[in-house]
Structure 1
């Protein structure tokens, strides 16, 4: 989940449609887009938490942060959703030296993902049949990609983990991909040592989530926000808050 904003002028926009200092296309009716952005944010976060729970039920490997949270859960006795919330809060503390500023999407991310994940695990029983687990894994990853595009398009601030990534990128000057890779390898390694589930689902998620999220973001982008999207840790003006990760 990382913060996004456009770089440079927007292709196909006339001079009157672009904010000169920032190069962003001006949104002629920002107030009318707020309800839609809120729907994108909260539906995206709910679906994201649902996808995390379903991927765990598939039992074929989790994405790196869930591997870590599951490992911690096994050693503390806390539910994985509770661990997800607590770890999100702790990660936000790391934002302080990085001078990152949370938004509505940041706080919502911390709370909603863990709650929805626990609710999903309560409602969906454990599955032992491989013929069911494989398509469930594929569905969970597809759902995660769609959810990612939804909440990024809302543009309400980065989630805690992606804010950490973009903050380190800005402070160290290292390439964003390198920073992300280092964080996720470290998280995955610690999670695996603690007993988190690593498997084919972990690899499939790593390979598929980028293209799926990119396609989903293009599909769900709200009018007036088109253009190339890149990571940023800086918030946009109040009338057009920077979107998520």
Structure 2
């Protein structure tokens, strides 16, 4: 949050001050625009990966097991459910941490839900009609999700609501981050299963591989955009 406020406060200062050469101001604003573009691009790519895994129907990601369980009972769209859960997480986590949410966290929560709905409603994914196409969609979704995550992280404009929840629980319990994250994922899956969410072997595969595809995505994003994002 402080970093994002600093970006925009510094930009306003550069515009109002005469001590900065026009060329420097243009370069600075270009970098901000690039960061925002990368942030949006990363979220769009990640959302496509999310939908591919859901539509592969081999077992959703842990949080999406719960999201789809909620969809099954209350009839909200998938994207809207992600947004509502995200709002609850942000409000609760910020209350615990006694801090305001960053612009990036709010944008992440809102935009990923909208992008997922658009991808589903506009039928932007290929037809999945066989086990081979299911496995292909699932594997592609894993890579695309990780790549999108790496790109939006490279923008340095903030992470997602679930990362904020992880920090809040770590702050309250004192339990290490890795165990807090593990407990969150297990609890989420159990709630999702109780709601009838699509838990299967794909959920387990996702859990042990998404870290690797995200790391790959971060390396690729840094290689492609590191020089211009700093």
| Same fold flag (TM > 0.5) | yes
Structure number with higher relative contact order (C-alpha < 8 Å, ≥ 6 residues apart): 1
Residues 212-223 of structure 1: pairs in structure 2 closer than 5 A = 212-221=213-222, 222-223=226-227
- The 2-side partners of 1:223 and 1:104 are apart by 24
Instruction: Quote how far apart the aligned CAs of 1:125 are.
Output: 7.2
Normalising to structure 2: TM-score of the pair? Answer: 0.80
2:111 paired with 1:112? yes
Q: Aligned Cα RMSD in Å?
A: 2.1
In the TM superposition, what is the alpha-carbon distance from 1:171 to its structure 2 partner?
3.5
The 5-angstrom pairing of residues 1-245 of structure 1 reads 31-95=29-93, 96-122=95-121, 123=123, 124=125, 127-221=128-222, 222-223=226-227
Q: Secondary structure of the residue that 1:223 maps to in structure 2?
A: helix
Render the CA deviation track for 1:120-144: whole Å, top value 9, x for unaligned.
Answer: 2221476331121110100001000
Question: In terms of Rg, which structure is larger?
Answer: 2
TM-score for both structures, normalised by structure 1:
0.75
User: How many residue pairs end up in the alignment?
Assistant: 200
- Following superposition, the deviation at residue 31 of structure 1 comes to 4.5
Report if aligned partners of 1:63, 1:205 keep a CA contact under 8 Å in 2.
Answer: yes
Gaps of 5+ in 1: 6-28, 227-245
> Comparing 59-68 with 150-159, which one deviates more in the overlay?
150-159
